[in-house]
């Protein structure tokens, strides 16, 4: 693609509007697609195929939202195509890369750490387009859930399009410490895509966990018949994890509360005895539920990775001061990225560790203050409203 002068002529207007990284990414995607596409004798090949059409149909939906906003400047046709709901649905289905981390220092607006500032981003990471100050709570495949600072109200928004929806108040009082997880799984052939907000609510002075779920399909909350009494009054961490139709929350006692969304049944998994506190993280590695547990010692930090339903020890990684710099601050694990990359927070410093390459990279030297949680975010274009719902609340 890069060596064809005729192809370059078709995209001559790109260079002034698009940063070089975006253009190289588009070239890479198209070259990769072209290398896999071989005509057969059964194909009815056209004599002339415009590069612009091939890119629109086969490349653009693999790109992140920030890059796509730049590509809208290529032509009026590209602008209309990228702004359309069909393309937004398609891009949301195909682009699933973790693009960065939302975080929030108590008392301040949310902020965003981009893993690639040229490719990933949004107009206003502080989320001031929402009608009131909020605390960020959970995210899934491009949608972000926030909770009002002053009231028991949730907002679902897309930080890229600044589209938002205020949810009706739940039946139970959740408070600021409720354990909630946003579940959103777009599928290519399902245009009526919906999301759910799953909340595990603990009643004060009662060792019982209730489950309340909001569905965008019905635009309402419902109470589940299932309750959990096995935690014995242990508190749930606010951040949960979703994979394979099951929501997981870590508790202060070192147990994991699992909730099957399809059958609406709960259960308990046990973590290793040392996995207590707020330093470990549930994540998915190679399709398997895992728990990353960092342990800081005198001059190094040891990362234990547990997996399977019994959370047995799978691997051990040792990081020294040469790898991570000063490790005297507490070390916290965050959900991994693309199976191979671990994200660790040493105080206010974020690093990534590439397991296969055994390489450490500094993501952010200082996030502006201590924060309680980092929320992974995917830079995609989903609608914050269910397609059957016409107006924002």
The pLDDT value given to residue 32: 54
65 falls in which pLDDT band (50, 70, 90)?
Answer: very high
Query: What confidence score (pLDDT) does residue 389 get?
Result: 37
Tell me, what's the pLDDT at 380? Answer: 95
Q: Tell me: the pLDDT tens digits for 25-52?
A: 555 555 555 455 555 555 455 557 788 8
**Above 90 in pLDDT, residue 358?**
no
**Structure confidence at residue 223 (pLDDT):** 95
Task: Tell me the C-alpha distance between 214 and 365, whole Å.
Answer: 38
What pLDDT, on a 0 to 100 scale, did the predictor assign at position 22? 53
Residues 198-223 have a mean pLDDT of: 91
Q: Which structure tokens are listed for 87?
A: 């393309």
**By three-state DSSP, how is residue 36 classified?**
helix
Check if the beta carbon of residue 327 is closer than 8 Å to that of residue 300: yes
pTM value? 0.82
- Name the more confident of 162 and 7: 162
Three-state DSSP class for residue 104: coil
What's the pLDDT at 122?
93
- pLDDT confidence tier of residue 202, bands split at 50, 70 and 90: confident
For position 290, what pLDDT does the model report? 92
Mean pLDDT for all residues in the chain? 82
Query: In the predicted model, what is the mean pLDDT of residues 233-240?
Result: 83
At 61 the pLDDT is: 94
**pLDDT above 90: percentage of residues in the chain:** 46
Token output for 177: 């410490």
Q: What is the pLDDT of residues 336-350, one digit of tens each?
A: 887 789 998 877 788
More confident residue, 193 or 183: 183
Q: Is the pLDDT of residue 366 over 70?
A: no
Residue whose C-alpha is closest to residue 289's, from 267, 273, 268, 306: 306
How far is Cα 240 from Cα 247, in angstroms, rounded to an integer? 7
Whether the predicted pLDDT of 9 surpasses 70: no
Confidence of residue 392 (pLDDT cuts 50, 70, 90): very low
Could you tell me which residue, 300 or 165, shows the higher pLDDT? 165
Question: Which residues are bridge partners to 342 per DSSP?
Answer: 353
Say what the pLDDT of residue 370 is: 67
Q: For residue 384, give Cα distances in angstroms to 92, 111, 155, 196, 340.
A: 12, 20, 9, 11, 30
DSSP label at 379?
-
Integer Cα distance of 63 and 22 in angstroms: 9
pLDDT at 130 over 80: yes
Average of pLDDT values for 248-262? 91
Banded model confidence at residue 238, pLDDT cuts 50, 70, 90: confident
C-alpha to C-alpha distance for 172 and 264, rounded to whole angstroms: 18
% of the chain with per-residue pLDDT over 70: 81
Per-residue pLDDT reduced to its tens digit, 142-179: 999 999 998 789 999 999 999 999 999 999 988 887 89
Task: With residue 247 as reference, give the H or E element that holds it.
Answer: strand 246-251
pLDDT confidence bin for 4, thresholds 50/70/90: very low
Q: How do residues 132-144 score in pLDDT, each as one tens digit?
A: 999 999 999 999 9
The confidence score (pLDDT) of residue 390 equals: 38
Give the pLDDT confidence score for residue 191 in this predicted structure.
78
Q: Is pLDDT of 323 > 80?
A: no
Work out the pLDDT band at 283, boundaries 50, 70, 90.
very high
Q: Tell me the two tokens of residue 93.
A: 């289905």
pLDDT at 176: 82
């Amino acid at each position: 693609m890069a060596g064809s002068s005729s192809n370059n002529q078709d995209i001559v207007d790109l260079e002034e509007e698009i940063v070089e990284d975006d253009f190289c990414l588009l070239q890479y995607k198209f070259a990769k697609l072209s290398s896999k596409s071989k005509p057969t004798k059964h194909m009815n090949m056209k004599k002339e195929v415009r590069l612009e059409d091939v890119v629109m149909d086969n490349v653009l939906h693999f790109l992140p939202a920030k890059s796509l906003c730049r590509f809208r400047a290529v032509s009026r046709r590209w602008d209309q195509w990228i702004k359309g709901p069909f393309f937004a649905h398609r891009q949301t289905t195909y682009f699933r890369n973790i693009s960065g981390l939302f975080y929030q220092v108590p008392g301040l607006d949310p902020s965003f750490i981009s893993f690639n500032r040229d490719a990933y981003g949004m107009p206003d990471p502080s989320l001031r387009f929402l009608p009131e100050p909020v605390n960020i709570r959970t995210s899934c495949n491009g949608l972000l859930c926030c909770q009002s600072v002053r009231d028991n109200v949730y907002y679902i928004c897309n930080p890229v399009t600044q589209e938002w929806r205020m949810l009706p108040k739940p039946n139970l009082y959740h408070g600021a410490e409720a354990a909630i997880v946003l579940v959103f799984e777009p599928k290519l052939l399902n245009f009526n895509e919906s999301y759910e907000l799953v909340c595990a609510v603990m009643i004060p002075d009662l060792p019982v966990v209730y489950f309340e779920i909001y569905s965008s399909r019905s635009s309402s909350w419902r109470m589940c018949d299932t309750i959990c009494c096995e935690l014995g009054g242990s508190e749930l961490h606010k951040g949960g994890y979703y994979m394979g139709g099951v929501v997981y929350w870590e508790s202060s006692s070192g147990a994991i509360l699992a909730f099957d969304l399809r059958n609406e049944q709960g259960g308990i998994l046990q973590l290793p005895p040392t996995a207590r506190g707020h330093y470990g993280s549930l994540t998915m590695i190679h399709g398997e539920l895992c728990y990353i547990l960092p342990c800081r010692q005198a001059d190094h930090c040891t990362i234990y990775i547990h997996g399977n339903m019994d959370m047995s020890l799978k691997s051990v990684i040792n990081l020294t001061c040469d790898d991570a710099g000063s490790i005297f601050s507490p070390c916290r694990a965050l959900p991994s990225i693309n199976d191979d990359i671990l994200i660790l927070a040493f105080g206010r410093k974020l690093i990534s560790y590439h397991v296969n390459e055994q390489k450490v990279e500094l993501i952010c030297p200082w996030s502006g203050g201590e924060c309680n949680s980092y929320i992974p975010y995917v830079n995609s274009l989903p609608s914050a409203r269910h397609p059957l719902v016409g107006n924002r609340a």
